Chains A and B, each alone.
Chain A
Amino acid sequence: KAGVTQTPRYLIKTRGQQVTLSCSPISGHRSVSWYQQTPGQGLQFLFEYFSETQRNKGNFPGRFSGRQFSNSRSEMNVSTLELGDSALYLCASQKQGYNEQFFGPGTRLTVL
C-alpha cells in the first residue's frame, strides 16, 4: 500500500507570495491533518479534515487555509507569505477508528 505523498517536496517563494501544498493520504484514510515544523516551535498542528470538512484547527492566522476533496486528497494554502513561514510542512493521514497517524515526507518551504 502506498504511503502518504506530498508535493512538491521543496519550494522557494518570496515574501508576499502565496503557496499551495498538496497531500495524498493512504488509500482508505479519510482524515488528513497538517502540521508545521520549525526548529524553534517544533511540530505544531495546523488543521484536520475529514470528509471534506475541517474538524479541528490549530492556533494559526487566517493566512493558513486548507481543503479536502472527495477523494480525500488535501491541499493547504498560505497567502501573503512571511519569512517566518519557512518550515517543513507535514501532512498525516489517519484511518477512522485508529489513533496512529501516518506522515508524509513533508514539503520544505523556504521564504526569501
Chain B
Amino acid sequence: SQKIEQNSEALNIQEGKTATLTCNYTNYSPAYLQWYRQDPGRGPVFLLLIRENEKEKRKERLKVTFDTTLKQSLFHITASQPADSATYLCAPSSGSARQLTFGSGTQLTVLP
C-alpha cells in the first residue's frame, strides 16, 4: 500500500540555521509533490509544488528537492525564524491531485 513518511515528529533548531525536513514515499509514482504548512487549529497553507521532472524549486527562503529515484523530497528553510515554527506536511500526488494524501507531518520549532 502507499506510504508516506516524514522524518521525526518534531524538529528543534536554532534561529538562523537551516531546517531540513524529509518526506519519503513508497509504492507511489507521483507526478509532483506539494508541501504545506499548518499552524495549530488552522487549515494547511500551500507552500510549494515540485514536479517529477524538476530537481529543485525555490521560493524566498524555501527550497524543495525531489528525487524520484530515492523516492524522497527534502524541504529546506534557510535562515530560519521563530515565525517558521509550524507543522509541515508533504503530499505526493499523481494525476489531478484532487485527492491529496498527506504525510503525518513534521513539527518544526525554531528556538530564538
**Chain A interfacial positions (CB closer than 8 Å to B):** 4, 31, 33, 35, 42-43, 45, 48, 50, 55-56, 58, 88, 90, 92, 94, 99-106, 108
Query: How far is A100 from B43 in the complex, measured between Cα atoms in Å?
Result: 13
- For A48, the closest partner residue in chain B by CB is B98
Given contacts A42-B102, A55-B98, A88-B41, 12 further A-B contacts (CB under 8 A): A31-B98, A42-B104, A42-B105, A43-B102, A45-B99, A56-B99, A99-B97, A100-B49, A102-B46, A103-B44, A104-B43, A108-B41
Query: How far is A101 from B45 in the complex, measured between Cα atoms in Å?
Result: 8
Contacts of A100 in B (CB 8 A): 34, 46, 49
Interface residue tally of chain B, by bracket?
Answer: 20 to 34
- For B89, the closest partner residue in chain A by CB is A43
**Chain B interfacial positions (CB closer than 8 Å to A):** 32, 34, 41-46, 49, 89, 93, 96-105
What's the nearest-Cβ distance from chain B to residue A108, in Å? Answer: 8
- Contact of B43 (CB < 8 Å), options: A4, A56, A58, A99: A4
Interface of B is mostly: loop
List 26 contacting pairs A-B, 8 Å CB cutoff, sorted by A: A33-B100, A35-B100, A42-B102, A42-B103, A43-B44, A43-B102, A45-B99, A45-B101, A48-B98, A48-B99, A56-B99, A90-B43, A90-B44, A99-B32, A99-B34, A99-B96, A99-B97, A100-B34, A100-B46, A101-B46, A101-B97, A103-B43, A103-B44, A103-B45, A104-B43, A105-B42
